[in-house]
Amino acid sequence: MTLIDGIFIDGRWQAGNGATLEVVDPATGRVIAQVSGGDAAAIDTAARAAKRAFPAWKRTPARQRGELLRAIARAVEAERERLVALQMQCNGKPRFEAELDVGDVVATFDYYADCCAAGTGLSGNPVTLPDAAFAASVRFEPVGPVGLIVPWNFPMVTSAWKLAPALAAGCTVVLKPSELTPLTEIELVKIAQQAGLPDGVLNLVCGAGPEVGAALVAHPAIAKLSFTGSNKVGQAVMVSAAERVARVSLELGGKSALIVLDDADLDQAVSLALGGAFFNAGQMCSATSRILVARALYPDFIERFRAAAEALKVAGPDAGAEMGPLISRAQQQRVLGFIEQGLAEGGLLLSDGRRHAQRSDGYFIGPTVFTDLSTDSVLWREEIFGPVACVRSFSDDAEAIALANDSDFGLVATIVGGDVGRTEQVAAELEVGLVWINSPQVIFPHTAWGGFKQSGIGRELGPWGLRAFQEIKHVVASAAP
């Protein structure tokens, strides 16, 4: 098996001296590629390259930066079929999920290309002052070279959400993919290279998180870290960045609620609950894995939800799957451990996905549905990052809101209900960054992504995603000669 170069610095692909990464197809358990990873020395070289490239990239007119982003969007689109196949192979995603991912990447690069073309959020503005003796303006300047650290669950999408606004803002980049899914980022960087990004503007170092990721966070040339991943690592990133007051944006975990009000359409509620809990095999920070159902609908809901969950076709992507495998053996074992814990905590298993874990072909667990768990239980409170949903009833809207907000996390929520005013009232009370009403988890680059509480700090996408890579500078001048 050929060793793929996992390092791209200053416009040149190279092998690294770090650990070799084995990329495994999670639907078969077979090694599909080996990637040569970097070490702290590679991070140092990459960070220096990003620092050297920064002044010229910062001064490149936004319109020109936007043309490069547009070229990347068109190239991703042109390569759509190959990239869909790669996402299916690296993550075991069903075809329709992989297609959504690639579409999302295109939309994100197009959105920030549009911002650059129009100067939205990039050009300075005059500021009106109460004293005519002074004139003021505000400028939005790139924060500097940035480190982007991403997880494995939506690898190319998460990278695009960081990369497109960082480049649009005028930042140069060192990108560090997950060690489990480096191939999609390698392809994205190749596309960006072919689109004509100047050398040093985008650098990539694949490698082990505790070594390569930590070195990136600690590097003095890196002005800002944008991190998506677990709370444990996110906290370590914040602590390390604090030592040199480096800026951080953190997109962390979630334990989100889906609320079914008593006037909801039951078919719609079941369909949205299925997508919210089992899309990407539940490996979503935005998984709505706490399902709250109005008491009047509860018996019907759990029966229909159980039947629909058990009917989902769990398989590898080539077998027409509706739900794929988990990313790795370790993740499968972790989720199985949670299921055991749920049983030990007195939960009632309505749908037992463990039967799929017996298969020899990949890292599967079927849709798993618990009821009767206490709100103190680990299963109710902790992010599982697998296809495990917990269902509970509530008596009125106030109780639903209280249950939904009773969490250390606050990423998203879904509300299903028939009365617009009522669903909007509930939405206003929820302590989360994004609420869907009677909608699947659609994400537009125009709307912000990020959470309240321990789900993170800052927002991605939209103008907020751009601001995350900018410093604000005011210029105040005396009007007197």
Tokens coding 30: 């077979």
Selecting among 90, 285, 383, 390, the annotated active-site residue is 285
Q: Is 285 in the site for ligand NAD (CB under 6 A)?
A: yes
Strand partners, 140: 472
> Based on CB atoms, which residue is closest to ligand NAD, 161 or 370?
161
Q: For residue 12, what are the β-bridge partners?
A: 9
Q: Decide: is 251 part of the binding site for ligand NAD (CB under 6 A).
A: yes
Task: Say which of 97, 179, 185, 251 is annotated catalytic.
Answer: 251
Asked whether position 213 contacts ligand NAD by CB under 6 A, the answer is yes
Is 20 near ligand NAD (CB under 6 A)?
Answer: no
Residue 409 is a binding residue for ligand NAD (CB under 6 A): no
Nearer to ligand NAD, 65 or 219 (CB): 219
List C-alpha distances in Å: 418 to 268, 441, 470. Answer: 11, 18, 41
- 206 as an active site residue: the answer is no
Query: Pick from 85, 259, 73, 38: which is nearest to 164 by CA?
Result: 73
| Site for ligand NAD contains 338 (CB under 6 A) | no
3-state secondary structure 272-341: HHHHHHHHHHHCCCCCCCEEEEECCCHHHHHHHHHHHHHHCCECCHHHCCCECCCCCHHHHHHHHHHHHH
Contacts of 34 (CB under 8 A, 6+ apart): 1, 2, 3, 4, 20, 21, 22, 23
In terms of Cβ atoms closer than 10 Å to its own Cβ (0-12, 13-18, 19+), residue 230 is: middle
- Interaction with ligand NAD in 166-195: which residues (CB under 6 A)? 176, 178-179
251 classed as catalytic: yes
Strands 434-437 and 412-416, bridge-based pairing: parallel
Local structure of 417: helix, strand or coil: coil
Q: How far is the CB of 198 from ligand NAD (least distance, A)?
A: 25
Nearer to ligand NAD, 250 or 391 (CB): 250
> 116, 237, 274, 434: which one contacts ligand NAD (CB under 6 A)?
237
Q: For tokens 């599982």, what's the residue? A: 384
Could you say whether residue 276 binds ligand NAD (CB under 6 A)? no
Q: Which of 27, 205, 236, 323 binds ligand NAD (CB under 6 A)?
A: 236
Q: Which tokens hold the place of 230?
A: 């677990």
Binder to ligand NAD among 11, 29, 209, 275 (CB under 6 A)?
209
Active site residues: 251, 285
Binding interface with ligand NAD (CB under 6 A): 149-153, 158, 176, 178-179, 209-210, 213-214, 217, 228-230, 233, 236-237, 251-254, 285, 383, 385, 411, 455-456
